[in-house]
Structure 1
Amino acid sequence: MALSFSGIALAQEKSLATLVNEKDAFLVDVRSEKEFDAGSAAHAVNIPLENIEKELSQFQGKTNIIVFCRSGKRSEAARKLLAKHNIQAVNGKGVAFLKSLQKENLMDMLTYRTDKHTALVIKSGEGIKQVAVALGKGAVLRKHTTDVPAFLVMVKGEVRFLINGEEVLLKALDTYNIPANVEHELIGVQDENLFILTKSKYFQE
């Protein structure tokens, strides 16, 4: 039996969490511009409810449309309005609820370059910072130090970790405690090498 979201039967059984995280998801925040600017779901566009009919062209050709607002009332009104124009959409309900279903894949946001590393800040807060770093084969994260202790987790591939005149080979799922103020360098071994680095003043060496 196909699932139904606010009266719309889907051809295939897919949960809202699945729809939200598919690459073709078109997430539309139908709240006001002011509300949108205060924070919304990742990758969402803002088309306020009162502008829906003026912006129908933005929905053309989209097959996975999810509308949402603060509580689900305006998004249900938007869904019904789009249905009148033969555009199917799913009511994603409230923004907080929708955000709780979203996930991100680091593989989609990083590239494995051979000439240098690429990095992405995952989380940052008071006294702590978490970064994902990708290295292609032979790429070098040149000699540097951290002002606070750091904890490295290898996710994929292998890296040569050079520290204190020695070399440590780190493989997938290896972990390593990096001391503060000690110069070190990392070199990618395989075509795709990925690790997550967490720096925190709260870590003990």
Structure 2
Amino acid sequence: MENATDPVVQVFRQNEHFKVITVGFKKGVVLKDHQTSIKTVLLVVKGVVTYREADRSVNLYQYDEYEIPLNVTHSVHATEDSICFLIRG
């Protein structure tokens, strides 16, 4: 992850009811605009990220969580080196 210019993504745990995805960011890296159709919570394990929608920007710090709205275009920007969980389902 030291030289990563994109988020590093790996499935941490999953079954038929949920999926936990780990996302690692270097400072300045962006998870580009996308949408989700599955209930998802973003949990910051380490660092600081900014969740952005068209008219909203939310800074999230270690142990903060944010429920991502369904079918809304959004992105995640790393303010510092960060590790997050995406908990889906």
1:137 to 5, 27, 52: 27
Deviations 1:80-135 (A, max 9, x none): xxxxxxxxxxxxxxxxxxxxxxxxxxxxxxx2555210011011111311101011
Higher helix share: 1
Deviations 1:16-46 (A, max 9, x none): xxxxxxxxxxxxxxxxxxxxxxxxxxxxxxx
Q: Give, in angstroms, the shift of residue 149 of structure 1.
A: 1.2
> Highest Rg: 1 or 2?
1
Q: Which runs of 5+ in 2 are unaligned?
A: none
Aligned pair count reads: 89
Deviations 1:140-198 (A, max 9, x none): 100011111101111111011101321100010111111211111001111x2111111
Q: Aligned to 2:83, what secondary structure does the other structure show?
A: strand
Higher relative contact order (CA 8 A, sep 6+): 2
TM-score (norm 2): 0.91
Higher strand share: 2
Q: Which runs of 5+ in 1 are unaligned?
A: 1-110, 201-205
Alignment of 1:86-97 (within 5 A): none
Equivalent AA in structure 2 for residue 196 of structure 1:
F
Q: Cα RMSD (Å) of the superposition?
A: 1.3
Distance 1:195 1:145, change over 3 A: same
TM-score (norm 1): 0.41
